Amino acid sequence: MQLRIILALLILLLPVSGYADKYIRPSADCTYNGNGNSWGCAASDGAEGAYKGFPVNASDILLLTASGIPKGTTAWLAGSDNAYNYMRITNTNSAGEEDRIIFKVATAGAHGTDTGWEESFGTKDVLLYGGIACNATLTNTSGYVTFDGVSRTTGTTGHRLKFDTLQGTFTTSGSAGSGYCQEVIIQYAKFQGYDGYIPDGCRDADPATCGTGIVLSGLSSTVRSKNITIQYCYIVDTFSPVNVSNTEGVTIRGNYIVRNESTSTSHSNAVSSPGRATGLLIERNWVEDIQGTGWFSMLGGAAFDEIHIRNNILVNKNTNPENPIGVGHGPFTTNIFYNRITNFTYYNNDHIGFQYDSPYCRIWFRGGCAGNCDIKNNLWYCAAGESCGVGTVVYPSDTILHFDTAASTDPPTWEDNNSALTCTNGTASVPSCASSTTCLDGTIGIGGGLGSIRIVSTTGTFSIGDTCTTAGGKDFVIAGVSVPANVTSTNNYYYGNTGNPGETGSKYPVSNENPFVDYSNYDFRLARNGNSALGTGADLSSVFTNDYNGNTRTSWDMGALNRIGGNQTIGTGAGFSLGVGAAINLQ
């Protein structure tokens, strides 16, 4: 009886998945494909030894079987001079964390005494072909997958897990033509695009040859990629570093995103979303020398909600000869008139030397804000000899009405510009410049099933649910209303910028102090003495409490990094040849 009880308890204590770890080496390392149960090369196929590359079928899809990588398995990857074979993960149909598949770089600390272990497995890089794309690499309900490079030395060095984004077809639409993914973690990895002469990088190459970093795009605005974290990665010289179109619950944290490629026909941004995005958090990233529409851009005919950008350092280097193109609309933009954005925060970000973008050093709500857009505690810095324009918030001074074309029997088109407009709320007429031919300013935006109309003059108010008709008989139902009062901007710091932002609590103009410890060496910690950025920020402790380095803010200063002193622990990560990242604590 006692023996039965003991056996029953032992069964209960077994892992849920019941699968042991698997050990993988690149295909070129071994002659035979082992059973994946140890590090050495197998003497014959199926014998004791490491897998010979990722176990995939003829279509390069990972085998989620007992003889492959079952759900709930940690697959350890040996470092090597050889690259791993291309693979895709699809249709995992995972139920929860117990099903998570973890691809993890092997280290001597974890495996130094394992059978068949060689020292080089824990020192050489793990090179994977292609980037990561939810519509190709991880497709159609792929869930609970982790790519873990374990550690890094600085923000730009020491990543042993490396994705060569020029190889493979990870940026295509996949065999099914489209897809999405969920519950994915990507950490401590380097995504390398065009490996040309620095600082040119991808800039002198055809965008098609640059490689694309991480594409998280979902299938549509209703079938979206969900709950994805990208953290502590180095994404460099790619065409489009991170795409979050049609996503929900994405976190981008602690990464270095450096240089991209954008052209007049193929726009790019550091983080972009041509389709719907909700629950997006971008925090504690170093972003350098980005060109295109904007650094963080919510574009296209889509609605965006709960977008939060904080504690980032954005650097536009005047020493990079390939960077004069700059960005068209500043660090953040909702660029198209039919954008709808709600619940947006932009807090404690540093903007360094946006001199090539004049006069576009700004947060631009070109499509207006439909509600609750707040900008606070940001620091704009323009060094002597640079011309940075106005670092400020720009948004339409007029009302913008948003609508869903699917809810309209005959929605307005571009031909309805400069038309009069009549709106009703139920049966009651709403006075809304019905007799004025200047009611609309010629800016009607239609795209992606959404539209917007910009009102120039009005004697009435507009409400969600109102039905509006143009003079030409085109109708729409108001789905959102953007007015200037929906945006607040206070407690920002402007050093050397031109123009007057006219904001409450902001420091402007600032010209007789240097807020940083060592601007020339990219140490953007706040100096303690004679610095008006200290202690003058709005208290945002109800939202977050840390700074760029992850340290707890002991006071509410402006900018991404809290002041020196007190209980602060300052990182000492060395920069690289372009001076990136002089002060960051590494997780």
Q: How far apart are CA 362 and CA 491, in angstroms?
A: 15
Bridging pattern class, strands 138-139 and 523-526: unpaired
Q: What is the pLDDT of residues 553-572, one digit of tens each?
A: 988 999 999 876 533 333 33
- Is the predicted pLDDT of residue 448 greater than 80, yes or no? no
- Is the predicted pLDDT of residue 166 greater than 70, yes or no? no
Q: Strand runs (DSSP E) across 420-474, as ranges?
A: 421-425, 428-430, 440-447, 450-455, 467-470
Q: What is the pLDDT of residues 41-82, one digit of tens each?
A: 999 999 999 999 999 998 888 898 888 999 999 999 999 999
- Is the predicted pLDDT of residue 175 greater than 50, yes or no? no
Per-residue pLDDT, averaged over 35-39, amounts to 96
Q: How far apart are CA 326 and CA 270, in angstroms?
A: 12
The residue type of 559 is G
At CB < 8 A and 24+ separation, what contacts does 199-204 make?
A: 199/259, 199/289, 199/319, 199/320, 199/321, 199/322, 199/323, 199/578, 200/322, 201/236, 201/237, 201/259, 201/322, 202/237, 202/238, 202/239, 202/259, 202/260, 202/261, 203/259, 203/261, 203/291, 203/322, 204/322
- Is the predicted pLDDT of residue 529 greater than 80, yes or no? no
Helix (H, G, I), strand (E, B) or coil at 271: strand
Per-residue pLDDT, averaged over 572-585, amounts to 33
Q: How far apart are CA 359 and CA 362, in angstroms?
A: 8
Q: What is the pLDDT of residues 377-386, one digit of tens each?
A: 999 887 766 6
Contact 285, 263 (CB under 8 A): no
422 within a domain of the structure (yes/no): yes
Lowest-confidence range among 30-44, 154-168, 293-307, 418-432?
Answer: 418-432
Matching residue, tokens 């340290």: 551
Q: What is the pLDDT of residue 329?
A: 65
Residue 242 tokens read as 């991170």
Bridging pattern class, strands 138-139 and 189-192: unpaired
Q: What is the pLDDT of residues 461-511, one digit of tens each?
A: 778 888 888 777 888 888 888 777 788 889 998 887 666 677 888 887 677
Lowest-confidence range among 92-96, 227-231, 391-395, 462-466?
Answer: 391-395
473 within a domain of the structure (yes/no): yes
Other CB atoms within 10 A of residue 241 CB: 30
The residue type of 187 is Q
Residue 141 tokens read as 């309900």
Q: What is the pLDDT of residue 52?
A: 96
Q: How far apart are CA 150 and CA 167, in angstroms?
A: 23
Lowest-confidence range among 61-70, 272-281, 426-435?
Answer: 426-435
Give the DSSP H or E segment for 221. Answer: none
Q: Which of 584, 503, 491, 487 is nearest to 540 (CA)?
A: 491
Give the DSSP H or E segment for 121. Answer: none
Q: For the chain, what is the mean pLDDT? A: 77
Q: What is the pLDDT of residue 523?
A: 86
Helix (H, G, I), strand (E, B) or coil at 202: helix
Q: How far apart are CA 575 and CA 180, in angstroms?
A: 36
Q: Confidence band (pLDDT; 50, 70, 90) for 582?
A: very low
- Is the predicted pLDDT of residue 7 greater than 50, yes or no? no
List, in sequence order, every residue forming a beta bridge with 283; answer none if it has no partner: 253, 310
Contact 149, 125 (CB under 8 A): no
Half-sphere exposure of 424 (CA within 13 A, CB side): 7
535 within a domain of the structure (yes/no): no
Q: What is the pLDDT of residues 99-121, one digit of tens each?
A: 999 999 999 999 988 999 999 99
Domain count for the chain: 1
Helix (H, G, I), strand (E, B) or coil at 333: strand
Contact 300, 340 (CB under 8 A): no
374 within a domain of the structure (yes/no): no
349 within a domain of the structure (yes/no): no
Q: Is the bond preceding residue 199 a cis peptide, omega within 30 degrees?
A: yes
404 within a domain of the structure (yes/no): yes
- Is the predicted pLDDT of residue 223 greater than 70, yes or no? yes
Contact 21, 74 (CB under 8 A): yes
List, in sequence order, every residue forming a beta bridge with 469; answer none if it has no partner: 422, 475
- Is the predicted pLDDT of residue 17 greater than 50, yes or no? no
Q: How far apart are CA 543 and CA 556, in angstroms?
A: 12
Q: Confidence band (pLDDT; 50, 70, 90) for 289?
A: confident
Residue 90 tokens read as 């699809």
Q: What is the pLDDT of residue 117?
A: 96
Report how far apart, in Å, the C-alpha atoms of 232 and of each of 125, 153, 194, 526 are: 17, 11, 21, 23
Helix (H, G, I), strand (E, B) or coil at 142: strand
Report how far apart, in Å, the C-alpha atoms of 453 and of each of 445, 469, 501 are: 7, 11, 27
- Is the predicted pLDDT of residue 285 greater than 90, yes or no? yes
Per-residue pLDDT, averaged over 198-205, amounts to 53
- Is the predicted pLDDT of residue 214 greater than 70, yes or no? yes
Contact 387, 494 (CB under 8 A): no
Backbone angles phi, psi at 96, to 5 degrees: -175, -170
- Is residue 172 packed enough to be buried (19+ CB in 10 Å), middle (13-18) or exposed (0-12)? middle
More confident position, 315 or 200: 315
- Is the predicted pLDDT of residue 31 greater than 70, yes or no? yes
Domain that holds residue 458: 399-485
Half-sphere exposure of 244 (CA within 13 A, CB side): 27
Q: Strand runs (DSSP E) across 109-151, as ranges?
A: 126-129, 132-133, 138-139, 142-148
137 within a domain of the structure (yes/no): no
Q: How far apart are CA 5 and CA 8, in angstroms?
A: 5
Contact 279, 249 (CB under 8 A): yes
Q: Rg of the chain's alpha carbons, rounded to an integer?
A: 26
472 within a domain of the structure (yes/no): yes
Q: Strand runs (DSSP E) across 220-298, as ranges?
A: 225-231, 234-238, 242-243, 247-253, 256-260, 271-273, 277-283, 286-288, 296-298
Per-residue pLDDT, averaged over 385-404, amounts to 68
Matching residue, tokens 């140890």: 38
Other CB atoms within 10 A of residue 384 CB: 7
Contact 89, 61 (CB under 8 A): yes
More confident position, 518 or 321: 518
Share of the chain above pLDDT 90, in %: 31
- Provide the H-helix boundaries in 248-324: none
Report how far apart, in Å, the C-alpha atoms of 218 and of each of 168, 273, 486, 562 are: 20, 11, 29, 37
Matching residue, tokens 């374990």: 150
